[in-house]
Amino acid sequence: MKYVIIGGGAAALSCIEGIRSIDKAGEITLVSKETYPFYGRPLISYLLEGKTTMENVLAYRPADYEATHGVHALRGETVTAIDASAHTVALASGELLPYDRLCITTGSVPFIPPMDGLEQVEDKTTFWTLDDALGLKAMLGEGRDKRVLILGAGLIGLKCAEGILHLAASVDVVDLAPRILPAVLPEEPAAIVQRRIEKDGVRFTLGDSVARFEPNLAHLKSGGEIPFDVLVLAVGVRPNAALAADAGCRVERGIVISSGCETSVPDIYAAGDCTAQSDPETGKPRVLAIWPNAMMQGETAGRRMAGGEASFDKGVPMNATGFMGLHLISAGSYDGELLLSRTPDAYKALYVRDDRLVGFIMLGDVERAGIYTSLVRERTPLSSIDFELIRETPQLMAFSATERARKLGGAHL
């Protein structure tokens, strides 16, 4: 069996692990644009911040991983086209790779809206890959004398701000939305996080956008101006689905996949940020570009490709992050009755609908948050647990003794 995987991120890695859990002998070829071994993309801000090292970033898996897993990796190589009927993949080098089963894990690409004068800005970058991060570090230099303007107050823009604050003279963040983290948090917790980030010196301009650029000056729609030396474009990302669309796969923003991670084209699978999978709430395809999803889908695809059984349909939006020491964990949707608790150090919002916990936000104190995540993911009926108890604090005491025996006593084994 010949397997080809396009892409080199979390979904690709997990796909290899899925294949190898069943087929130890098949040929696996991986084609990745990046030249680095597997690394965690979300680490790039932590690298600039000094919370990890280049050596550790590149050691997501042991150095001999590809050798021990029988992976032939073509790094620094790109796929130009997929011929689904001939079962071949064309490479930029001109080579044709035959496949029996193909997995597309092409991830997301940063989206850069057209902006007047952007081409005049010399030092600009997106903040998505390790090379982006290293490039940004080089632009900032050692002098701590560069003024940085970040477009986008989402997770990427804000983690970037945190990562480079100690390397820059100043950091300004501009977003069209009226609050920070608009896709992750409602108003009140967003304001708490914003205050924490501002306390360390980051300046926000919200509900505004850049009308036009001069080489070192941004003119805002509101009439204001922000001078800068380095520009970071973190407006958002889009699924990288063009290759799949050209190959005939159904694409609705992302590559539409089944719970078995199959695309609409036989023998072509897809996993990770480039995909759209049915949302259990609405039944419609939804892009869920988060790390755990990529890992679950990659493994599912890999197992299926190797002829095994696997399915994944429990994708839930979730994020774990933090800014300047303020931790944040959230999951699910915020469409439900809000149960709020606040202390001076912590904010907690639980969202309840139809006897289920549909989502939650924890800020500050995130201890044992995964117990809430599991209620969201497993759609646990709240009437089957002691909800008043678990509402106070995440705990296993809220489950029945039988359920605890299963969880802690291995009674299901």
**Which residues lie closer than 8 Å to 24 by C-beta, 6 or more apart?**
70
Residue 290 to residue 326: CA distance in whole angstroms: 20
Query: Which segment (44-52, 141-149, 150-158, 180-188) binds another protein by CB under 8 A?
Result: 44-52
Query: Which segment (71-79, 135-143, 169-177, 290-298) binds another protein by CB under 8 A?
Result: 290-298
Quickly tell me which residue has 């477009």 as its tokens. 151
- 96/396 with CB nearer another protein: 396
Residue 42 to residue 128: CA distance in whole angstroms: 8
- 25/401 with CB nearer another protein: 401
Beta carbons of 60 and 295 less than 8 angstroms apart: no
- 96/397 with CB nearer another protein: 397
- 410 is a site residue for another protein (CB under 8 A): yes
N-terminal to C-terminal alpha carbon distance within the chain:
34
| Binding-residue total with another protein (CB under 8 A) | 46
For 159-219, the DSSP string reads HHHHHHGGGSSEEEEEESSSSSSTTT--HHHHHHHHHHHHHTT-EEEES--EEEEETTEEE
> Using CB under 8 A, which of 373, 382, 385, 387 touches another protein?
373
- 36/60 with CB nearer another protein: 60
- 67/245 with CB nearer another protein: 67
For 207-242, the DSSP string reads S--EEEEETTEEEETTS-EEE-SEEEE-S-EEE--H
Beta carbons of 278 and 285 less than 8 angstroms apart: yes
**Which residues lie closer than 8 Å to 189 by C-beta, 6 or more apart?**
328, 347, 349, 361, 363
Min dist. Cβ of residue 11 to another protein (A): 11
Min dist. Cβ of residue 143 to another protein (A): 26
Quickly tell me which residue has 């919200």 as its tokens. 206
- 409 is a site residue for another protein (CB under 8 A): yes
> Using CB under 8 A, which of 2, 29, 56, 176 touches another protein?
56
- 407 is a site residue for another protein (CB under 8 A): yes
How far is residue 136 CA from its own chain's centroid?
20
Min dist. Cβ of residue 313 to another protein (A): 15
> Using CB under 8 A, which of 33, 61, 238, 253 touches another protein?
61
Give the binding site for another protein (CB under 8 A). Answer: 14, 40-43, 46, 51-52, 56, 59-61, 291-292, 295-296, 299, 318-322, 327, 329, 331, 366-371, 373-374, 389, 394-397, 401, 404-405, 407-410, 413
